[in-house]
Amino acid sequence: MTLIIRDRKITRRVFAQRGSLAVAGGMFIPMAGNDPEISSPVVSGEGQSSSERLAMYQEESARGVVCRICPNECTLKEGEISDCRNRVVRKSKLYTMAFGNPCAVNSDPVEKKPLYHFLPGSSAFSIATAGCNFACLNCQNWTISQTSPDKTKNFDLPPGDVVASAKANNCRSIAYTYSEPVTFYEYVYETSKIARKEGILNIMVSNGYINPAPLKELCRFIDGANIDLKSFSDATYLKLNGGKLQPVLDALKIYRDEGVWLEITNLIIPGYNDTADEIRLMCRWLFSNGFADTPLHFTRFQPLYKLEHLPPTPLAVLNSAAGIAREAGLRYVYVGNVPGAGTDDTVCPECGQKVVERTGFRVISNKITGGKCTCGVVIPGRWS
């Protein structure tokens, strides 16, 4: 594979040295070694990195500067770093340190996000900076999510260059992914505005932990999203992720209501969110809140990070979850991270025909024409 970044070709060999993407579901292995094409943020005489920008959605308060981007609402004093590790207060103003300096860049099949009803078979130019507003015990990308941009090796890639690189690599979309794009909000916002003008679509792959106002503003430029619904329990959100459930449910509704094509992922972790009762509650909530046609991806947990001691999710649990979801009325249910299981195909809910067949992240056949199955039923999604 050759990736073109800022008019320069990066070969599979160089990419492998840097540690490009490795595994299904957006797992990223960080870059390693010294490479002259990668730069660390340059620090100016004033102590401000060239990757720093004045942050959006900041407010002054008696206790410090408040960030209103996500429900963590960090209140920071001079020099303090945010929970997401990429925002800092300097001279009483909040700055993002994650602007134009992605530590991960790749061209992925859009199916890897996963998005199954969104330009099937196309490529998404995928970027991430360091930082996250969660601290998931099972994070598969913890080496970039649980650190700050001054500790990762970064590309120098301002918004216009991201869009140009997406075009140069024949990508129809840009995916903000791997770590948590909510925390590099300004970079996403500026890049997606340019991409929209240039006819490139924008995709958020996110935990959905964002406040309503910044989300609605961002949705003006976002075309597709895959949001992790990590469990259906506030206690589990607190224990597993360091967050809360309700803001994520609110974000799902906002994405949908603002006209963004939405798909949802639920990673099932043994002992955390795998009971039939919880899965049934979640699916019934989705159905009764208008998400019957929103694709739901159950994905398999693999032992990682702080949950290395747990076993992978048993296939029986995943298949049972899919059955519960269908019984609740959800029409497009997938089981991911299970190669060869045949649970990646899109099936017409009316005639039962396989309308999109997939193997892993590859589309084998696509019978959808004009957004419809050959039987005439509309299959929701963005198909062209």
**Stretch of 71-79, 197-205, 223-231, 307-315 lying at the interface with ligand SF4 (CB under 6 A):** 71-79
Residue 67 or 267 having the CB closest to ligand SF4: 67
CA dist 213 and 244 (Å) reads 18
Cα–Cα distances in angstroms (integers) from residue 332 to residues 46, 164, 223, 294, in the given order: 53, 34, 19, 7
Residue 178 or 332 having the CB closest to ligand SF4: 178
**Stretch of 62-70, 120-128, 193-201, 255-263 lying at the interface with ligand SF4 (CB under 6 A):** 62-70
Residue 57 or 116 having the CB closest to ligand SF4: 57
CA dist 363 and 356 (Å) reads 7
262 pairs with which residues across the strands? 225
Query: Which residue among 5, 21, 65, 69 contacts ligand SF4 (CB under 6 A)?
Result: 69
**Residue 44 CB-density burial (10 A; 0-12 exposed, 13-18 middle, 19+ buried):** exposed
Q: Does residue 98 belong to the site contacting ligand SF4 (CB under 6 A)? A: no
- The number of residues that bind ligand SF4 (CB under 6 A) is 12
CA dist 187 and 41 (Å) reads 15
Helix (H) or strand (E) holding 161: helix 159-168
CB of 180 to ligand SF4, least distance (A): 8
CB of 61 to ligand SF4, least distance (A): 13
Reading the block at residue 285, the tokens are 């909530």
Helix (H) or strand (E) holding 380: none
CB of 85 to ligand SF4, least distance (A): 8
**Stretch of 66-74, 275-283, 291-299, 368-376 lying at the interface with ligand SF4 (CB under 6 A):** 66-74
For 62, residues 6+ apart whose C-beta sits below 8 A from its C-beta are none
Query: Which residue among 21, 67, 188, 333 contacts ligand SF4 (CB under 6 A)?
Result: 67
Cα–Cα distances in angstroms (integers) from residue 110 to residues 51, 143, 180, in the given order: 28, 23, 17
Q: Does residue 82 belong to the site contacting ligand SF4 (CB under 6 A)? A: yes
Q: Does residue 84 belong to the site contacting ligand SF4 (CB under 6 A)? A: yes
Contacts of ligand SF4 in 305-364 (CB under 6 A)? none
Contacts of ligand SF4 in 121-140 (CB under 6 A)? 133
Residue 200 or 204 having the CB closest to ligand SF4: 204
- Which residue has tokens 């199955």? 373
Reading the block at residue 372, the tokens are 């419809």
**Stretch of 12-20, 82-90, 107-115, 232-240 lying at the interface with ligand SF4 (CB under 6 A):** 82-90
Q: Does residue 146 belong to the site contacting ligand SF4 (CB under 6 A)? A: no
For 75, residues 6+ apart whose C-beta sits below 8 A from its C-beta are 61, 63, 64, 65, 66
Residue 71 or 120 having the CB closest to ligand SF4: 71
Query: Which residue among 5, 74, 128, 296 contacts ligand SF4 (CB under 6 A)?
Result: 74
Residue 215 or 240 having the CB closest to ligand SF4: 215
- Which residue has tokens 């981007």? 69
53 pairs with which residues across the strands? 96
Tell whether the torsion through CA atoms of 234, 237, 238 and 242 is positive or negative: negative
Residue 128 or 347 having the CB closest to ligand SF4: 128
Contacts of ligand SF4 in 164-223 (CB under 6 A)? 183
DSSP state of 318: H
Q: Does residue 96 belong to the site contacting ligand SF4 (CB under 6 A)? A: no
Q: Give the helix, strand, coil percentages of the chain, each rounded to 5.
A: 25, 25, 50
Nearest CA-CA partner of 311 in 302, 320, 322:
302
Binding mask 10-29 for ligand SF4 (x = CB under 6 A): --------------------
**Which residues of the chain form contacts with ligand SF4 (CB under 6 A)?**
67, 69-70, 72-74, 82-84, 87, 133, 183
